[in-house]
Amino acid sequence: MLSLKEISTHESDWDPASLRVTLNARLDARLVPHGSAMRLDYGHVVVLDNFIGEPERQSLIDTLTQPSWDHSQGPPSSSWERETADGQGLSKTWGLKDSVLQELAKGALPAMQEVQTRLAKMYPDYFIAHMPSHLIQTDQQAAPDNHTVQSPQLDRSKQTVVGDGIDSGDSQAESSSSCHMDQEDLTAASGSATAPTAEQHADSTGSNQAASVDCNQFVGNAAVYGDCYTWHIDADPAAFPSSPWVDAFGHYCNGEPGRPLLVSLLLYLDTKWPRQWDAETLFLDDDTDIGIVVRPKCFRAVLMDQDILHRVSTPSQVAGSRPRYSLVWKLVFMPRVAEQQCCIAKASWGPPTALGSAARVESIKRTMLRKRKDSSA
């Protein structure tokens, strides 16, 4: 049994109903192994507005920089250093110093506890933990761990399997009403797309993701004009190196029922960021090269499966030396029920918008369903 660091929370009267779900999308449709058969899998991106308020934003930006800091000067060197890069051979960009990351990992900041409390309220059916870098990257020093708990015992008296990639906490009706497909149908609907190997990820991103995976609990970005960013994934559990994590869970596709879902939570921390300053977060459907553009916006949060291709768009020259600040939580969503499928797309939000390969699958599924209805008429 692995010991995972559960996110720390506190008492809060925040109500998830105050959220605005701006985007609930799925992409990266593919066939992945599931026992002796195959299943249809998707990646997900969720954009939430009003996830945090001004007190949380101000506290976080002050922690990452300094109170009353003049951001037109760039990030303060007391907290930031140019030692971060999306891939080998790229010029260094601004990232948080280890001392700041260690303070964040302690989890004592009330604003961080509020963020984590809101996340826990959104997903009460899952055990949410910080990504355990010391269990995945065994050659790296473990971050301070003050809230270590045992990963939850699965309740095997209830078995919820959701094959459509929808949050299983409130999606029973959604699952039962889905278009059921046999193996031949799955292959046709997915367009024969299968989960990419580590080598294929390296081809599409220009870097070896298995070797360069960063499993730190937090990542800070301060993108400025002139920086260079490339397509990358945060992590892929199918390509992890030998480690206690792999010993416990094996190599698997992110989103596998009964296995941990690796999720990144991104918060934008600038009070304003005009459109002409660029620095959007970009997401890419690996099979069709169709993407999503998410603009930095005050109080906005982005949730994404960690194996989705994404990158930062470089800030424009108009932004000057002002950084676009963001803070990322690297998280693990653990199932509480045997064979439960964790997913960031909640069924109460309605069906996710299908993009790229996922839209193609939905079109083929509708065509197959219509043909079946016509043949039975």
**303-326 average pLDDT score:** 97
At 5 the three-state DSSP class reads strand
Residue 89 has a pLDDT of 82
**How far does CA 269 lie from the centroid of its chain?**
18
pLDDT band of residue 297 (cuts 50, 70, 90) is very high
CB-based contact 272:323 (threshold 8 Å): no
Closest CA to 179 of 366, 376, 374: 366
Residue 108 has a pLDDT of 92
Question: Would you say residue 321 has pLDDT above 60?
Answer: yes
Residue 162 has a pLDDT of 38
pLDDT band of residue 187 (cuts 50, 70, 90) is low
Question: Would you say residue 161 has pLDDT above 80?
Answer: no
What is the rounded distance in angstroms from the CA atom of residue 91 to the CA atom of residue 83? 9
pLDDT band of residue 366 (cuts 50, 70, 90) is confident
DSSP string computed for 319-357: GTT--EEEEEEEEEEEESBTT----SS-GGG-SPEE-TH
DSSP string computed for 114-172: HHHHHHHHH-TTEEEEE--HHHH-TTSPPPP-SSEEEPPPPBTTS----SSS--GGG-H
Share of the chain above pLDDT 90, in %: 67
What is the rounded distance in angstroms from the CA atom of residue 43 to the CA atom of residue 304? 8
Compute the mean pLDDT over every residue in the chain, rounded to the nearest whole number. Answer: 85
Angle at 332 between CA 327 and CA 334, to 5 degrees: 150
Per-residue pLDDT of 284-296, as tens digits, reads: 999 999 999 999 9
Candidate from 28-42, 130-144, 220-234, 353-367 with smallest mean pLDDT: 130-144
Question: Would you say residue 209 has pLDDT above 60?
Answer: no
SS3 annotation, 54-88: HHHHHHHHHHHCCCCCCHHHCCCCCCEEEEECCCC
Give, as one character, the DSSP assignment of residue 363.
Answer: H
What is the rounded distance in angstroms from the CA atom of residue 59 to the CA atom of residue 50? 16
At 40 the three-state DSSP class reads strand
Per-residue pLDDT of 101-142, as tens digits, reads: 999 999 899 999 999 999 999 999 999 999 998 899 876 544
Q: How many CA atoms lie within 13 A of 217 on its CB side?
A: 27
What is the rounded distance in angstroms from the CA atom of residue 377 to the CA atom of residue 375? 6
CB-based contact 116:9 (threshold 8 Å): yes
Per-residue pLDDT of 32-70, as tens digits, reads: 888 888 889 999 999 999 999 999 999 999 999 999 999
Question: Would you say residue 216 has pLDDT above 70?
Answer: yes
Higher pLDDT, 376 or 292: 292
Largest CA distance in the chain: 72
Helix%, strand%, coil% for the chain, nearest 5: 30, 25, 45
Closest CA to 56 of 6, 116, 102, 99: 116
**Residues whose CB is less than 8 angstroms from the CB of residue 377 and which lie 6 or more positions away in sequence, other chains included:** none
Share of the chain above pLDDT 70, in %: 79
pLDDT band of residue 368 (cuts 50, 70, 90) is confident
pLDDT band of residue 371 (cuts 50, 70, 90) is confident
Question: Would you say residue 338 has pLDDT above 90?
Answer: no
Question: Would you say residue 342 has pLDDT above 70?
Answer: yes
Per-residue pLDDT of 238-281, as tens digits, reads: 999 999 999 999 999 999 999 999 999 999 999 999 999 999 99
What is the rounded distance in angstroms from the CA atom of residue 182 to the CA atom of residue 204? 30
pLDDT band of residue 177 (cuts 50, 70, 90) is very low
Residue 191 has a pLDDT of 57
Residue 237 has a pLDDT of 95
Question: Would you say residue 332 has pLDDT above 90?
Answer: yes
Residue 64 has a pLDDT of 97
pTM to 2 decimals?
0.85
